[in-house]
Amino acid sequence: MLIVMERDCSAEQIQRVIQKIEVMGFKAHPIPGEVRTAIGITGNAAPIDPAEFETLPGVEEAIPVTKPYKLVSREVKPYDSVIKVGPVSIGGPGFVVIAGPCAVESEAQTIQAAIAVKEAGAHMLRGGAFKPRTSPYSFQGMGLEGLRILAMARKETGLPVVTEAVDDESAGLVEEYADVIQIGARNMQNFQLLKRVGRSARPVFLKRGMSATLDELLMSAEYVLSEGNYNVVLCERGVRTFANHARNTLDLSVIPAVKKRSHLPIFVDPSHGTGIRDKVGPLARASLAVGADGLMLEVHPDPDKALSDGPQALLPQMFRELMSDLERMAPLVGRTMESPRKGDGSAARA
C-alpha cells in the first residue's frame, strides 16, 4: 500500500499517517517527492483497506501496490534514486566508474592500482578484503588488514571505497572502514546479511546472483530497503548459461528491464561478466549504451601476478583507453561522465 499525500499537506498530517501505520503494527517509509510526499507501508501480511487512510486529513489516495516488491518499485517512487557517496552521485546524469583490483593483496599493489585508476578518471575504488572463493584453498583476502590498506588508498587518492562484506562480522568492519558495502553474487540471497546491511548507514552495492531472476534481485534489494536503508545500487555481473566462450553470460537485457520496474541505479560488472580481459572493453561500452548508470571494473597493475581473477583484470593502460572511449561515447547516449567535486573523500564517511 502506498499513501499519497496532498501537495499542500502539513508535516503534522504526514506524522499522523505514520503514527497510524505504526499503531497498526506495520512499518512506514516516507518518500519525499518533488511535488508531494508518499508513504510506503511494509510488514502487512494481508491487504490493507484503503479506506483506513483515505479518510485521514491530508491524504490524497491510498494505492495498493501490485508488485511483490514495493519500496524498490517505480509504482512507489516514480523518479530515479540518486545515491550520494561523498563527492560522487550515483544514478544521476553522470556515469560512474568503480575500478580497482579483485582483491587487496598488499599495500603496494593496492596503492598502485588506486593511483592508476584515479589518474585515468575512475570515481571510486574497489578491492576485496574478504573474498568469497569457490575453493577453501584459494586466497581468502587479507581481512581487516585489507580494509586498513583500502582506507590508506582512499586517503592517498580521495576515491571512496567499495568492498565486500561476507557475514555479520565483516559487515561491521566494512561499514567502519569503507564507504559502500558490497554484497557479492554468492550472498545475494543471504537474507540475514541483507537485513544486517539494511540497518547500516552505508550505501549497499548489491550484485545479482549467478542464477537469480530479475524479480529475485529486486526482492533482495527490497530486504535492504525494508530495514530502512534506501541507498542500494544494483549490479549485473553475468549469469550461468550453457555458453562456454566466457566465464558468465552478461545479461545486458536486464538493464532496461530494471529501469522499467525500479528507481534504483543499476551498474554492470563486465569483468566477472566475461572473465576475459579483451571482452571487458566491448561490454563496458555496450553497458553505457544500454542505459546502465555505471561500471564496476577490475584493474590490476600486474595481472599475471594477481592472487585472484588475473585473466579478467584490465592493465592500467587498457583501462585508460576504455575511460577515454566512454568519455567520447557518453554524450551520444545522453550521459556525461560523472565529474565529482574535488575532495579528499572524507565527506563520504561523514
Nearest to 100 by CA among 122, 133, 129: 122
Binding of ligand PEP by 340 (CB under 6 A): no
81's grid cell: 534514486
Number of Cβ within 10 Å of residue 169's Cβ equals: 11
Among the listed residues 102, 206, 233, 264, the single contact to Mn ion using CB under 5 A: 102
**Contacts with Mn ion: how many residues (CB under 5 A)?**
2
Between CA 328 and CA 324 the distance in angstroms is 6
CA dist 14 and 37 (Å) reads 8
Q: Which of 188, 118, 120 shows the shortest CA–CA distance to 160?
A: 118
Residue whose CB is less far from Mn ion, 236 or 309: 309
Q: Does 207 bind ligand PEP (CB under 6 A)?
A: yes
Establish if 272 lies at the interface with ligand PEP (CB under 6 A). yes
Question: Does residue 184 belong to the site contacting ligand PEP (CB under 6 A)?
Answer: yes
What residues from 88 to 127 belong to the interface with ligand PEP (CB under 6 A)? Answer: 102
Q: Is 185 in the site for Mn ion (CB under 5 A)?
A: no
Among the residue ranges 227-235, 304-312, 313-321, 340-348, the one whose residues contact Mn ion (CB under 5 A): 304-312
Q: Which is nearer to ligand PEP, 154 or 272 (CB)?
A: 272
Closest approach, Cβ 312 to Mn ion, in A, equals 7
In the bound complex, what is the minimum distance in angstroms from residue 126's beta carbon to ligand PEP? 7
Q: Alpha carbon of 70 to those of 13, 76, 224, 225, 239: distances in Å?
A: 23, 6, 12, 9, 25
The answer to whether residue 164 forms part of the interface with Mn ion (CB under 5 A) is no
Q: Is 45 exposed, middle or buried (0-12, 13-18, 19+ CB in 10 A)?
A: exposed
Residue of this chain nearest to ligand PEP (CB atom): 184
C-alpha–C-alpha distance, residues 285 and 281, integer Å: 6
Near ligand PEP by CB under 6 A: residue from 38, 185, 268, 295: 185
List residues binding ligand PEP (CB under 6 A).
102, 128, 164, 184-186, 207, 237, 269, 272
